[in-house]
Amino acid sequence: MARRIVTHSRKHAGRVIAVGNPAEWWSPRSATDIAVDIDAGVHSYWARDADRQLVRASLSNDRNMIHAWTSAGRDLLLLLPPC
């Protein structure tokens, strides 16, 4: 399983619709494709919080949204700069 570091996200109507890292060839990647990657165990997606700690992205309970929850209960992916 490859670990992909996310530095940017694309949002629409309060939802993350894609994530990316301009330094990586796979970027940007749609939230739908990320959900497939996570479900299949092919790739994991991570973002750094304010303390530079890696936070793993996961799927919502209904499996149609991705999140990276911080210890403070905030979705880190919504806080990233746009891609």
Mean pLDDT per 10-residue run, the chain (83 residues)?
94 94 96 93 94 91 81 90 92
- Tokens describing residue 46: 């991570």
Cross-strand bridge partners of residue 12: 15
Residue 69 lies in a domain: yes
| pLDDT of the residue at 63 | 66
Strand order in the sheet with 2-6: 2-6, 43-48, 54-56
Torsion angle defined by CA atoms of residues 25, 35, 49 and 69, in that order, rounded to the nearest 10 degrees = 180
Domain that holds residue 47: 2-77
Tally of domains in the chain: 1
Residue 82 lies in a domain: no
Would you give the DSSP letter of residue 69?
B
Residue 83 resides in a domain? no
Domain for residue 72, yes or no? Answer: yes
Q: Is residue 46 part of a domain?
A: yes
User: Residue 46 carries which side chain, given as an amino acid letter?
Assistant: W
pLDDT at 12: 94
**Residue type for position 19:** V
- The Cα 46–Cα 67 span in angstroms is 10
Looking at the domain assignment, is residue 39 inside a domain?
yes
For residue 13, tell me if it sits in a domain.
Answer: yes
